[in-house]
Amino acid sequence: MTTPIYYVNAEPHLGHAYTTIVGDALTRWHRLLGDEVMYLTGTDEHGLKIQQAAEEAGTTPQAFADEIAPKFAAAWERLDIAYDDFIRTTEPRHYKAVEEILQRCYDAGDIELDTFAGKYCVSCEEYYSDDELITIDGVPDCCPIHRRPVEYFEEENYFFRLSRFEDRLLDWYAQHPTAMKPEHRGNEALGLIKGGLRDFSISRTSLKWGVPLPWDPNHVTYVWFDALTNYLTAVGFGDGTEGYEKWWPVDYHLIGKDIVRQHCVYWPAMLMSAGIDPPKGWAIGGWLLVDNEKMSKTSGNVVNPLDLIDDIGLDGFRYYVLADTAYGNDGDFTYDGLVARYNADLANNLGNLAARVATVVGKKCGGVGTAPNPDSALAAVAATAVEDTTRWWDEVQPSRALDASWQLVRATNAHLEANEPWKADPGPEVDAVMGDALEALRIVAILASPAIPSTAQAVWERIGQTGAVTDQRVPADTAWGGYQPGADVIKGAPLFPRLKA
């Protein structure tokens, strides 16, 4: 599982956190399924954009990157991201892998010297043809993504003969129709290929900040060719270790919709040229917009995820990011939306259920967990929740997966309201109702753990279960009846204190 590697020209913001949290939750979900997962993230440190940012800051690109890269790593620690490797493209291991793939493509005859004359967006680090550019407020030749004028340049470059790969890419995707999720984003990528592929320049002579071409060191490698290769570097491509055999091809590249061309068109073609299998899958997300604009330093609308955690708690924030937007679509970030989602699903639903169960078990069952009823009406609800949650994670739809898990939370609250155990006298009936609720909470804790890992563990412990919730397995441990009665049930402080709108 991979995230894009983030440019070090900006500090980590909500947009970066979004993709990284989705990848983290998907990683954790697969670990629950018993899959061994390597989760990779890192930083993209070469190219004109970083060189220019360093110049503006009055420092060298390396010193600049050295300052920002650890901020990404630190943000991911704070967001409880279970990553296994953090790659930086300035590391020696990465240079080796880039040289290896370049050499392979060159030897295959797919890289040739030519002259480039055209337009380039430094923010995208991408070439544009005239018909792709737009006019903004009378200013022609603006980048359609960054909405700023592109630069013109002309120089001798090496080109990757992408145009030769059109049929091979279309054939490959026809044989792997579900490789790109969700389908509508995959169709956009296919549209790019069907629209015709142009060779692209993979080297620059006017730029010094990058990996020199192994056969012509006057050129440095185009930053995207370099950056994409990080996914191979991290599994040991080119260094003779066994990681590459074990982990490649990657199962999921998580990417934003703005980098589909590079990941779903350039990258598989580069791999094919080098004699390497294409990725097994891509999961393409939309943007989290603020006031209908993509968050960016230039727009000045950057939301710092770490500030939000201070207000809403780590798991509250993670849950919001995962639950509020269907992956693949754009989402609109608002503080009110964050609070509303938190209060509805976490404070009033899950948090309330956990508190209620502990209170009633305390008052009516001597504070000790009771056994669930094997024939409970909730058993079927739980089975459906497990099934649907599994299906939606498989489709990389965290919002739907969480909604499926929350069906069980809602049904359990309804079950308590229908039975009103708080009004009944202690006895076997109350014990059975509370046993059902405890069992439902146990299953919910497992299902929700990819999204809200520390709260899920807290629920797990409060209902008297031992060990780590993350050591549970789906579906073996989510079958109805696994709750171990007889342990103390603890109320504790509210898991999700209600927030004022």
Q: Which residues are catalytic?
A: 13, 16, 121, 124, 143, 146, 294, 297
Q: How far is the CB of 161 from ligand MSP (least distance, A)?
A: 21
Of the ranges 2-10, 212-220, 374-382, 400-408, which one interacts with ligand MSP (CB under 6 A)? 2-10
- Counting contacts by CB under 6 A, is residue 305 touching ligand MSP? no
Question: Interface with ligand MSP includes 256 (CB under 6 A)?
Answer: yes
Q: Is 455 near ligand MSP (CB under 6 A)?
A: no
Q: Which residue lies nearer to ligand MSP by CB, 329 or 484? A: 329
Closer to ligand MSP by Cβ: residue 79 or 295: 295
Quick check: 18 binds ligand MSP (CB under 6 A)?
Answer: yes
The maximal CA–CA distance of the chain, rounded, in angstroms, is 86
Binding of ligand MSP at residue 255 (CB under 6 A)? yes
Task: Give the 3-state secondary structure of residue 56.
Answer: helix
d(CA 181, CA 147): 27
| Two tokens, residue 218 | 């006057």
Question: Closest CB to ligand MSP among 292 and 466?
Answer: 292
> Measured from the CB of residue 53, what is the shortest distance to ligand MSP in angstroms?
12
| Selection from 6, 80, 82, 81 nearest residue 37 by Cα | 82
Count the Cβ atoms, other than its own, within 10 Å of residue 85: 15
CA 156 → CA 45, 141, 210, 418, 428, distances in Å?
24, 22, 17, 76, 83
What does the buried/exposed string (b/e) look like for 234-266 if buried means 16 or more CB atoms within 10 Å of the residue's CB? bbbbbeeeeebeebbebbbbbbbbbbbbbbbbb
- What is the residue type of 456? A
Q: What are the distances in angstroms from CA 440 to CA 145, 275, 377, 387?
A: 46, 50, 11, 15
CB of residue 401 vs ligand MSP: minimum separation in angstroms?
19
Q: Residue 301 or 419: which CB sits closer to ligand MSP?
A: 301
Contacts of ligand MSP in 22-51 (CB under 6 A):
44
End-to-end CA distance of the chain: 36
User: E strands of 172-278, at which residues?
Assistant: 180-181, 200-201, 203-204, 212-213, 216-221, 253-256
Among 1, 79, 202, 227, binds ligand MSP (CB under 6 A): 227
Neighbours of 217 (CB within 10 A): 9
**x/- binding map, residues 258-297, to ligand MSP, per CB under 6 A?**
xx---------------------------xx-----xx--
Query: Smallest distance, Å, CB 10 to ligand MSP?
Result: 7
20 binds ligand MSP (CB under 6 A): no
Residues that bind ligand MSP (CB under 6 A): 4-7, 15-16, 18-19, 44, 227-228, 230, 255-256, 258-259, 287-288, 294-295
